[in-house]
Every structure is written in C-alpha cells, then in structure tokens.
C-alpha cells in the first residue's frame, strides 16, 4: 500500500512539473531559512554553557544613583570581595576577584604579541572550569606565573612545550608559564581571555585600594554554594557595600546584586536599575521571522494544492467510486506532501551549505552544519515531518471531502467561497512580507540617523595606539618631534581613553551652587597638551590648553556641553570646581563628543591635563600624506622609541563604525530574510497566477473573440492579486508602525517613522506582484483563441 502511495505521488510530481518545482522550491527555501535561524538561535541561547558550573555562576553588580538616575554596572571595589567571603560566605562556594588588564605585550625570544587578559585570583580556573591542556590552574598560586590560551601558547612557542618557560610581560616582569588552557569558544563572554596573570601582580595599585570602598575598578565572579538559591543570595548581599562604605560613597545609595551567567549575554541591558533585556529581543525577532518564512512556504503549498483541486476532482471521484475510503485519500495526499517535504529538506541542506559562508559573514558567527550528529538528523527528520503534515493538512482534508456523484456528473463547482481561504492565505503572505520590508527599512534608517549625528571631533585620519610601556612617555617630546619631522603627522597627544570610549567616571566634584541632595557623575579623561588639536575639538566657548609649559593650565578644565548643563552654570568660563583638594578653573567648553553609544545622550565629561602617564596615543595624520607611507613612517619612529612593543594601531573612524555593528547585523539579517520571504511569496503568486490563467483560459478566448485587447485581459487577470496585495498593505502598515515605534522607544536618540516608508514598501510589493503575475497574464492574453476554444 505504501509503495503504491509513493508511486502515485511520484507520478503526480512528474505530471505537474511546474507545480512540483514551485512547491519544492518554496518549501526548501523556507526550510533553509529555518535551519539557518535555528543554528543562529542555538548559538545565542547556548552562550556561556561551555562552563560546567553555568547555572551556579554569577557576576556581582551594583546599582548607584548618579545624576538622578540609577546606573547598573559591573565595576566593584576591591574590599567587597573579602566582605562576601567573610560575612556572606555561606552563600558562595567560590568568590573570585578579577581585573581587566587591557592589552599587554608578551614576548619569548623574537616572538612578540599584544594580547588581552585578566588579573584573576587563583580559583578562577576552577570557577570557570577551564580545560587545562597542560600544567594546572593551581599555578596561579605563584605570584609570577601566567596561564596561556592554547592559541597564544602556540603563537609564542610553536611546537615546543610551553610549560615552565619564562616570558616577558610588558618588558617589566618575567612570568613562568604554569598552565595552558583550551581556547574559549566564540559563544562565551570571556572568549577573548588570552591569558590570566595572578591577582597579586597588580602590586602597588592593589595595595593602595585594598580598603578603598570608593574605587569601583574591579570585577567579582562568584559560584553559589550547593542548594543556595540565586535570588535569595542576591537579596542577602544588597547592602554589603552600603553598610561598609563611608558617607561619601553612601550618598550614591549602592545596591549590590547578582547577575547570573545565564543572563550575561541575552539580558545585559539595564535602565534605571531594572533589567530590560538585551539581545534576547533580537532572538525573539529572528525566531519569529523564521517562523513566518516557514509559514509562508507552507501557505504556498496549501494554496497551490487547493488551486488545482478541480483538476484532481475526478481522480478523487473515481477513487471513491471504486471503494477508496476518505482516510486512504488523506494518506495519499499526505504521502505526496511528505515526499515533497523530504525532497525540500534535502535541497534545503544544499542551500544552507551554499549560503552558510554568507550568513556567517552577515551574522558575525562561525556556524557549521552538524551533519555528523545523529541528533541533527533526528530533529531534521522530525521537523520535516511536521512541516510536511502542516503543509499538506488543508489539501488532504479539503480534496478528500469531494462528493463522487457531483464530481463524476461534471456538475461539481468549487463554490463562490471556495477561493476565500486561498485569498486569505495570500493576504497573510504579503502582510508578513511587507511588514518585514518596512521593519528592515526602519532599522537601516535608524542606523543612518545615528551615523549622521555630530560626533564633536574629527575622526578621519585619526589613529590610536595603546602603549603599555613607559618608554615613549619618558621621551615623549623627542618622539613627538620625530613624528612631526616625517611630514606624515599633523599632531600627537596622550589620553587616558580612546576617543570612542569613556572608561573612567567620578563624582567627587564640588562647586558653587551644587545640589547637595543629589549625586553627580562625570566622565573624566586625562589628556596631554595638543589633545584638542589632535582630535579636532569644536569649541563653543573659551579656549584650548596653552601650548607652552604644562604648568600654565595644569589647574584648568575643559568641559563638554552636557557637563555645563549638569553643573548648572549660565556662564561657565572662569567658574571654579573643587577636586581632590584643588581648585580647577573652567577654561573652555567643547561640543559633546559621542564617546559611548551613538544612540544615547552624551555623558557629562571633564577633560584635565594629567601629570602622569596615560596609555593611549592619539595620532592625527596629515591630509595630503599617503596612508601606507604615513603608517610606515610612524612605525619606524615608534619602534625606535619603543622596541619592545609591536606597532598596533586602530583607525578611530573604523572603531566608531563598530558601534553600529549589532544594529547593522540585525538589519542585514532582517533584510536577508525579508528578501527570501518576498521570493517565497512570489513563487506562490506565480503558481496561483498560472492556475488561474489556465482555469480561465476559455473565458479569455471568448473575450478575445469579442474584441478584448491584451491590456484589458491583463487588467482582468491581475486585478484580483492587486486587490489582495492592497489589503495586505492596509494590514501590514499599522502593524509595522506599532512594533517599529515600540522598538525605536528603546533608543534615546532615534529617527522618525515618515509616511513614505510605508508607501515605498507598499509600492514595491505591488510592483513585484504585477511583474510576477504579468508573465502568466500576458501569456494567457496572447494565446490564440482558436486553440483554447477548439473543444467547444
């Protein structure tokens, strides 16, 4: 029986080649999209599950009231770690202090590399369950030890065993390699952890802050004790800092809480002290899009199958007349849909393999198709079965319900409402497709809106170099002069942060008229002379620091416009601000620099001349210099003064562009899936148009005999589809407006939703529909009526 069903199914597929191609193409495209999205979602939802204690690990965070808002952050004072161990020790199995070290030079022989890593306490490898490939995580007990990732160890030592080898760290310390751990996967928060050095290696900086509750410059990771609830543990430590901090820090009303590892990646955004989600919203978005695209493919199948129902009506009548039961007919039609679903699944695998490199590039992933895993094939088979059953359900139930007497007498009529379900499904298809198009346009419009925002400085031909040694700082005047002599450099200056980020902030400022009841927080950036000239400050009032001896303006502040608003000065120039026992005078006001997110307001920021070494070199290239030659000249001077560190630079305009990476990635993914949705919808429209043209072929012939023109016949055959798309536009536009308006509310700096976006998406959908339908409509209109009416 099954063999007979399959044989008939194959014959029907061969007989209706166009119908079969459209169905298989649509389903395979839908399944391919679904597979890609499942791979992407699996990667996102399994983030950090590499760590064995995933469910029991958390990061300690704190809420503080700053500028009348609650800010949530991961930076914590050092003494809180010991407080958690002693006072709250029953809650935790492990408490590990950590400090991000930035980029450091690691050298062995002639091999030198700049990599990122962390200072961590000795239990870190156990807490994060690092897979040691050599040595032991206990090696961090040695204050001059270092653990290396496998990739870094290979880069430094090649095939040689790295254990117990001594490397130079920033040319200031010699560290012994006591362990090598497996590189962390890309879908882990700590994937760029290339090395770990002992917590004690921080030296004086650690000693000065061991009892300082006001310096929030470190991180704490904890592993809960067995049978301890995460929420209860979090609630128990909320006053751990407030109870110990002095009055100066208590005014910020710090509240300590735990952020579980399961939320680090997907629920990382906070607003006014409340977790508002994060990347999870994009998981929902992409998942819904995948479901919609698969639904569109299934709708195609149902539409095309029911559209040709009259052609198979006699087959159903004859089968029922000779004794076939309805359930046998249902099995027959389901076997056809399952066969096509199986063929579509095989084709979808080929499409996924073909599209995966492009998809990885768009999504910034390294996804692979797990074809060697039995679970993948089991899930794929099950998913194909479900898709086939859903896609074939309506045709199987609908076709098998025909009455044989009416069909075989030739008096069977589909009925005036028989086409209504098909029309509803077409409207649903185009509603989803148009909404996706509108959403994609809005996402890219928001990105362009933020990109066009004034950034407050000149980022073109500006590079930054992170220097982790004191060699250049100790000879900075000679270094700067030699750079300027090359003719490739216009200006050079130090700063404590790069122009695209503000790393430090402080609230211990005082001034006349300050609101004593509130708490204020300013970004603080230490700079050297010529910083404003280097990055292109745009002054609103006042002046830059004098280019003479640094002592001339060493007690001067340059502030941005947002800082002036927070300070409350109507005339800021000459105003005095007290800081660390000194009186600083505001000498200049610059336009707000976009240093953090381009979608949020600029942070109030104060710039000051730093009397100590800063870590970032800012170099402005001459506009007329060739980029390659300029960089080569800079490298020669740089390596002359700093031979122990490789010359590694970043273009500021490229770093700024990375701030839009997530939104651009989501926009590209949405656009990619929107195009596939339109493609699938067009396949369905094309198939529907071909069946309708064939169904009305005699009517077209009679109209031609009576004098109808090709244009009028084209209008006749296209009108129904145009009406359906118009209805879809009317439904999709308000739906898209509602959801995109809500999405934009998540950005403080956001674009608008003008009417032309909806008009453009609607016009595009109508044009695509007309182009798709016109091929069949014109072909039917041009057919010779003699051939179509011969049987009459």
Q: Tell me: the pLDDT tens digits for 559-578?
A: 999 999 999 888 999 999 99
* Confidence grade of residue 723 (pLDDT, cut at 50, 70, 90): confident
What DSSP assignment string belongs to 334-382?
HHHHHHHHHHHHHHHHHHHHHHHHHHHHHHT------TT-HHHHHHHHH
3-state helix, strand, coil in the chain (%, to 5): 50, 20, 30
Tokens 């979808």, residue located: 348
**For 722-727, which contacts have Cβ atoms below 8 Å and span 24 or more sequence positions?**
722/766, 722/769, 722/770, 724/423, 724/426, 724/427, 724/430, 725/430, 725/765, 725/766, 725/769, 726/766, 727/427
Q: How much is the pLDDT for 144?
A: 92
Nearest residue to 617 via CA among 645, 596, 593, 584: 645
User: Are the C-beta atoms of residues 263 and 49 closer than 8 Å to each other?
Assistant: no
What distance lies between CA 311 and its chain's CA centroid? Answer: 49
What mean pLDDT do residues 350-368 have? 88
Q: DSSP string covering 495-529, please?
A: ESS-TT----EE--EEETT--TTS---EEEEEE-T
- So what's the pLDDT on residue 714? 77
What would the mean pLDDT of 140-149 be, rounded to a whole number?
92
pLDDT at 413: 54
Percentage of the chain modeled with pLDDT above 70: 89
Asked whether the predicted pLDDT for residue 131 surpasses 90, the reply is: yes
Residues 188 and 149: their CA atoms lie apart, in Å, by: 14
Asked if the model's pLDDT at residue 666 lies above 90, the reply is no
pLDDT at 618: 93
C-alpha dihedral over 600, 601, 602, 603, to 10 degrees? -90
pLDDT computed for residue 112 by the predictor: 86
**What's the pLDDT score for residue 768?**
84
Strands 195-198 and 111-120: parallel
* pLDDT single digits (tens) 23-52: 788 788 888 888 888 899 999 999 999 999
Q: Note the pLDDT of residue 468.
A: 64
The answer to whether residue 388 scores a pLDDT higher than 70 is yes
Note the pLDDT of residue 294.
80
Distance of alpha carbon 265 from alpha carbon 98, whole angstroms: 19
Length of the chain (residues): 792
- The 10s digit of each residue's pLDDT in 325-334 is 777 777 777 7
Task: Quote the DSSP letter at residue 200.
Answer: G
pLDDT of 408: 62
Residue 178 to residue 253: CA distance in whole angstroms: 42
Q: Give the model's confidence band at 552: pLDDT under 50 very low, under 70 low, under 90 confident, else very high.
A: low
pLDDT at 786 > cutoff 80: no
| CB within 8 Å of 142: residues ≥ 6 apart | 176, 178, 198
Q: Kindly report, residue by residue over 501-531, the tens digit of the pLDDT.
A: 887 888 788 898 887 766 778 889 999 989 9
Nearest CA to 766 among 731, 718, 733, 714? 718
Q: What is the Rg, in whole angstroms, of the alpha carbon atoms belonging to the chain?
A: 34
3-class secondary structure, 243: coil
pLDDT digits (tens, 9 = 90+) for 667-688: 888 888 788 878 887 777 777 7
At residue 243, the pLDDT reads: 85
H-helix or E-strand containing 463?
Answer: strand 462-466
**Mean pLDDT in the chain?**
84
Q: What is the pLDDT of residue 146?
A: 94
Least confident of 202-206, 400-404, 428-432, 767-771: 400-404
Six-digit token pair at 340? 């096509």
Say what the pLDDT of residue 576 is: 93
What integer pLDDT is reported at residue 216 of this predicted model? Answer: 86
Alpha-carbon dihedral sign for residues 231, 237, 241, 243: positive
**pLDDT at position 247 over 60:** yes
What are the b/e assignments for 545-573, b being 16+ CB within 10 Å? beeeeeeebebbbbbbbbbbebbebeebe
In this prediction, residues 186-198 reach a mean pLDDT of 92
DSSP state of 76: B
Q: Residue 414 — pLDDT band, cuts 50, 70, 90? A: low
- For residue 305, what pLDDT is reported? 63
pLDDT at 680: 80
Distance CA 653, CA 268 (A): 26
Mean per-residue pLDDT for 458-485?
Answer: 86
Indicate the range of 220-229, 293-302, 532-541 predicted with least confidence: 293-302
Rounded distance, CA 390 to CA 301, Å? 10
Mean pLDDT of 119-144: 91
Residue 111 is classified by DSSP as E
Phi/psi of residue 524, each to 5°? -125, 125
0.75 surpassed by pTM: yes
pLDDT at 735: 92
Q: How far apart are the first and last CA of the chain?
A: 40
Predicted local confidence at residue 90, as pLDDT: 92
720: confidence class by pLDDT, cuts 50, 70, 90: confident
What is the C-alpha separation between 206 and 82, in angstroms, rounded? 14
């Amino acid at each position: 029986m099954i063999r007979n069903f399959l044989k008939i199914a194959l014959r029907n597929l061969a007989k209706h080649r166009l119908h079969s191609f459209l169905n298989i193409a649509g389903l395979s495209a839908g399944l391919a999209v679904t597979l890609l999205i499942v791979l992407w979602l699996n990667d996102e939802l399994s983030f950090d599950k590499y760590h064995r204690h995933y469910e029991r690990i958390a990061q300690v965070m704190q809420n503080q009231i700053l500028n009348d808002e609650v800010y949530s952050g991961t930076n914590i004072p050092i003494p809180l770690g010991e407080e958690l161990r002693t006072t709250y020790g029953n809650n935790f199995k492990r408490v590990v202090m950590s400090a991000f070290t930035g980029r450091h030079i690691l050298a062995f022989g002639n091999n030198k590399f700049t990599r990122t890593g962390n200072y961590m306490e000795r239990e870190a490898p156990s807490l994060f369950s690092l897979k040691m490939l050599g040595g032991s995580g206990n090696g961090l007990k040695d204050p001059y030890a270092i653990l290396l990732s496998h990739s870094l160890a290979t880069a430094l030592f090649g095939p040689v065993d790295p254990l117990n080898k001594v490397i130079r760290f920033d040319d200031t310390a010699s560290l012994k390699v006591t362990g090598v751990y497996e590189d962390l996967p890309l879908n882990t928060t700590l994937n760029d952890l290339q090395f770990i050095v002992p917590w004690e290696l921080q030296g004086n900086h650690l000693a000065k802050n061991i009892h300082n509750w006001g310096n929030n410059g470190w991180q704490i990771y904890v592993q809960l004790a067995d049978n301890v609830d995460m929420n209860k543990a979090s609630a128990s430590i909320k006053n751990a800092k407030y109870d110990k901090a002095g009055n100066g820090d208590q005014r910020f009303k710090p509240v300590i809480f735990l952020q579980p590892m399961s939320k680090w990646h997907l629920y990382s955004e906070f607003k006014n002290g409340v977790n508002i989600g994060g990347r999870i919203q994009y998981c929902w978005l992409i998942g819904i899009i995948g479901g919609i695209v698969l639904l569109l493919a299934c709708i195609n199948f149902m539409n095309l199958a029911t559209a040709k129902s009259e052609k198979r009506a006699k087959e159903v009548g004859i089968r029922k007349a000779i004794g076939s039961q309805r359930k046998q007919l249902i099995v027959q039609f389901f076997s056809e849909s399952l066969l096509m679903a199986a063929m579509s699944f095989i084709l979808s695998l080929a499409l996924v393999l073909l599209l995966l490199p492009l998809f990885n590039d768009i999504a910034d992933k390294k996804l692979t198709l797990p074809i060697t895993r039995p679970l993948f094939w089991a899930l794929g088979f099950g998913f194909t079965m479900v898709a086939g059953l859903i896609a074939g359900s309506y045709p199987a139930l609908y076709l098998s319900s025909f009455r044989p007497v009416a069909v075989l007498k030739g008096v069977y009529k589909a009925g005036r409402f028989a086409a209504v379900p098909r029309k509803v499904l077409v409207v649903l298809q185009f509603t989803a497709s148009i909404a996706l198009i509108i959403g994609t346009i809005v996402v890219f419009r928001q990105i362009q809106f933020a990109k066009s925002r004034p950034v407050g400085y000149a980022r073109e031909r500006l590079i930054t170099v992170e220097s982790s040694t004191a060699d250049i700082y100790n000879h900075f005047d000679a270094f700067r002069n030699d750079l300027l002599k090359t003719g490739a450099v216009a200006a050079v200056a130090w700063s404590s942060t790069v122009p695209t980020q503000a790393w430090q902030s402080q609230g211990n400022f005082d001034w006349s008229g300050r609101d004593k009841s509130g708490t204020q927080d300013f970004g603080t950036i230490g700079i050297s002379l010529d910083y404003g000239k280097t990055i292109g400050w745009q002054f609103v009032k006042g002046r830059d620091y004098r280019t003479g001896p640094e002592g001339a303006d060493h007690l001067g502040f340059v502030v941005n416009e947002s800082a002036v608003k927070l300070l409350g000065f109507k005339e800021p120039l000459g105003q005095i601000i007290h800081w660390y026992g000194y009186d600083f005078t505001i000498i200049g006001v610059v336009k707000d620099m976009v240093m953090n997110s381009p979608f949020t307001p600029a942070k109030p920021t104060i710039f000051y001349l730093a009397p100590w070494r800063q870590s970032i070199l800012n170099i402005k290239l001459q506009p007329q210099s060739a980029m390659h030659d300029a960089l080569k000249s800079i490298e020669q001077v740089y390596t002359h003064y700093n031979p122990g560190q490789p010359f590694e630079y970043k273009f500021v305009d490229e770093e700024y562009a990375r701030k839009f990476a997530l939104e651009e990635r989501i926009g590209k993914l949405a656009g990619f899936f929107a195009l596939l949705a339109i493609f699938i919808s067009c396949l369905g429209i094309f198939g529907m148009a071909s069946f309708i043209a064939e169904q009305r072929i005699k009517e077209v012939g009679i109209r031609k005999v009576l004098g109808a023109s090709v244009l009028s016949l084209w209008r006749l055959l296209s009108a129904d589809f145009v009406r359906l798309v118009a209805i879809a536009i009317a439904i999709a536009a308000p739906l898209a407006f509602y959801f995109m308006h809500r999405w934009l509310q998540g950005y403080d700096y956001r674009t608008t939703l003008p009417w032309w976006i909806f008009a453009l998406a609607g016009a595009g959908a109508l044009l695509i529909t007309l182009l798709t339908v016109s091929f069949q409509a014109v072909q039917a209109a041009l057919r010779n009526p003699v051939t179509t009416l011969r049987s009459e």
